[in-house]
Amino acid sequence: MPRDISKIKKRKKDHLKIALSSVSQAGDPGFSRYRFIHNALPEFDFNTIDTSTTFLGKKVNYPFFISCMTGGIADGERINKNLAKAAQKYKIAMGVGSQRIAIEHPELRKLFNVRAYAKDVPVIANVGLVQLNYGFGLAELQKCVDMVEANALALHVNPIQEVIQPEGDRNFEDLLPKLEKLVKKLSVPVIVKEVGFGLSEDVVRRLNNVGVRIFDTAGWGGTNWAIIEGLRGKADRALGELFSGWGIPTTDSIIAAAKVKEEKKDDSFVILGSGGVRTGVDIAKCIALGSDLAGLAAPFAEVALISDEKVGILIERLSAELKIAMFGIGARNILELKNKKPVSV
C-alpha cells in the first residue's frame, strides 16, 4: 500500500533542510590523516593534465560525480534539473535520490526527469536495498532504472538511519540471496552504497560474492544521517547524538574495498569513494587510496538549489583543485594519480 504522501513530503523536506545545515556534518572522513609527497620537479606542462576517465562504459571529464541524495518533493525537480544540466555540460556522472516515492506515486516521476537534460552522461538510479523486504522486486527495480534511463542502479544500505528514523524500515533479513538473483536479471549493473556509515571489508566481500561489482563507500565523516533522523524524531534525539560517531571513516572504507579488489583481480570491480569529500585534494586522495571515482552529494545539492550555473562553478573549483594536486605530485593523468600513494601522518 502506498504511503501517506503528506507525511513523505514532510520527511523529505526535513531531510533536505537538515542535511544542508552545518549541524548535519559530523566526524573526520580521514583525509587529514594522509599527505601526498610533494614533487618539486613534475617535468610536464600543467595544461596537459588529463583528468578524464571512464565510468559505466562512458568517458567522463573528471573522476568525481554527483552522488545520490534526497532532494525533497518541493525542491526535487529543480535540484535534479540543475544537477543534470551541469552534469551534461561538464560531462560528469550523476545519481538521483531515492525513487521509491515515484514508484508508489507515479505522478511524482516528473521529479526524476533528468535525461531531458543529462542526455549522454552516466546516470545512476537509486532505491533502498531494504525495500526488497517491503514488496519491491525485479519489476520495481527495473522501473527505477527505466524512469531515468539509468546506466546503473544504486541500492543503498542504511541500517543505522532506518532504526533511528521514526518511520524507518528495519527488516534487513535475507537481503543477500534476494540481491544475488536480482543482480543476474537487472538490465544494468548494481551499485551498493552506504549513506554515511561506510562499507567494511567483510561487507564488500559478501556483496562481491553475490555478484556486486560496484561499491560506493559513503563513509563516516560527512553528512550524518543519525543526526538528521535524531533531529527529526525529537524523542530519538539522544539516539542520533549517540550514533553520530558510529561508522567507518571514508578513507578506511576505501582502503578496505581496495583490499578486496586487489585480491579479486577483477577489472569490473569499481570503487566509488564518498563521504565528507569537499575539495579537489580530497578527490585526489580518494583516487590515490584506491577508489576509481569520488562522489559528493551535499555540496552539489546546496548549490543546485540556486542554479545550474552555481553547480558549474563548484565543478570548476573541484577540477582546478584536483589538477593542482596532481601537478604537485607529478601525476599527468588519473592512472598516474592512482600510483601516487599518500603517506599516513
pLDDT in tens, 256-286: 999 999 999 999 999 999 999 999 999 999 9
Q: Where are the domains of the chain?
A: 5-344
46, 295 in Cβ contact below 8 A?
no
Binding residues for substrate: 11-12, 98-100, 161
pTM reported for the whole predicted model = 0.96
CATH superfamily of the domain spanning 5-344? Aldolase class I (3.20.20.70)
Distance of CA 222 to the CA centre of its chain: 12
Binding residues: 11-12, 67, 98-100, 126, 161-162, 193, 223, 276-278, 297-298
What pLDDT, on a 0 to 100 scale, did the predictor assign at position 14?
83
pLDDT in tens, 46-60: 999 999 999 999 999
Binding residues for FMN: 67, 98, 126, 193, 223, 276-278, 297-298
Q: What is the mean pLDDT of residues 167-183?
A: 98
pLDDT in tens, 126-148: 999 999 999 999 999 999 999 99
Please name the residue that has the C-alpha cell 526535487: 76
Give the integer Cα–Cα distance in Å for 182 and 62: 30
pLDDT in tens, 68-86: 876 567 788 999 999 999 9
Q: What is the mean pLDDT of residues 22-41?
A: 97
What pLDDT, on a 0 to 100 scale, did the predictor assign at position 176?
99
88, 56 in Cβ contact below 8 A?
no
Closest by Cα among 237, 198, 189 to 221: 198
182, 189 in Cβ contact below 8 A?
no
Binding residues for Mg(2+): 162
Closest by Cα among 103, 100, 110, 24 to 74: 110
